[in-house]
Amino acid sequence: MSGKTFAEPLPASRSPLPAHAPIGIFGGTFDPIHFGHLRLAEDMAEALGLERVLFIPAGQPPHRDAPRTAAGHRLEMVRRAIGGNPRFVTDAREVQRPQPSYTVDTLTALRAELGQTRPLWLLLGADAFLGLAGWHDWRRLFELANIAVATRPGAQLLQPGAIMEPLKSEVTQRQVASCNPPGPPAGAILLRTTPLLDISATAIRGMLARHDSARYLLPDAVLDYIHEYQLYACT
């Protein structure tokens, strides 16, 4: 069912997927989730032929400051945001994990549930990808999933010298120009130029703290939830 919240392990709540149907994994603090997140996921789902995109809110993200908003609220905002899209699914495993949320641990758990042959695509924005070499056990990510990076035309990621070592060597070895579905199980890097929406969760939080209107930057269901619980009411 649309917007269902999953814990480990991932249950077969819909009709069974074909054995090689590709799945996208989209993590983040989602503080709050907005149309920029949703558009990125939709574009990648279309380009890669993804049968599902798992939205996985971070519980305790180790690579950045703690989210402003409690994990339960961020999880519920994601659930409400994606409720109308049958391809999008909420996965609660990182919120339910008591220790920091490392992507490599999440992908390891998904591999154990979904098998070794199904293509998995980790969906990232350009800024997150450029910092990948600072992630915990980051090289093992390529054993577990492919990585699809969304970037704007002319963005820094596409400029000479933008990708530094040691990530540059991995890109040189693994980059594919395109990928027809379903793609390999793991190991590929796809840099996809796409017309991303220039929307920032930081900017939205600031607007809401000033009591400015954030309508049309995020789904109405999310905005209604924010107002109901007075999230982001002050800086």
| Sign of the C-alpha dihedral computed for residues 115, 116, 121 and 122 taken in this order | positive
| CB neighbour list of residue 138: distance below 8 Å, 6 or more residues apart | 104, 132
Q: Are 182 and 19 in contact (CB under 8 A)?
A: no
Cβ–Cβ contacts within 10 Å for residue 165, how many?
Answer: 8
- Asked if residues 137 and 102 have their Cβ atoms less than 8 Å apart, the reply is yes
Q: What angle, rounded to 10 degrees, do the helices at 220-229 and 71-82 form?
A: 150
Compute how many other C-beta atoms are within 10 angstroms of the C-beta atom of residue 182. Answer: 20
Whole-structure pTM value: 0.90
DSSP string, 33-69: --HHHHHHHHHHHHHHT-SEEEEEE-SS-TTSPPPSS
Other CB atoms closer than 10 Å to residue 117's CB: what's the count? Answer: 11
The Cα–Cα gap between 98 and 2 comes to 26
Instruction: Give the pLDDT means over successive 10-residue stretches in the chain (235 positions).
Output: 40 60 96 97 96 93 75 96 96 91 94 95 94 96 97 75 93 91 93 89 95 97 97 80
Instruction: Identify the residue whose tokens are 């809110």.
Output: 57
Omega cis (within 30) before 119 = no
The confidence score (pLDDT) of residue 64 equals 62
Using CB atoms within 10 Å of the CB of residue 19, give its burial: 0 to 12 exposed, 13 to 18 middle, 19+ buried.
exposed
Interatomic CA distance for residues 29 and 232, integer angstroms: 14
Give the per-residue pLDDT at 154: 67
**What does the pLDDT read at residue 106?**
96
* pLDDT score, position 181: 83
Do residues 81 and 222 make contact, with C-beta atoms less than 8 angstroms apart?
Answer: yes
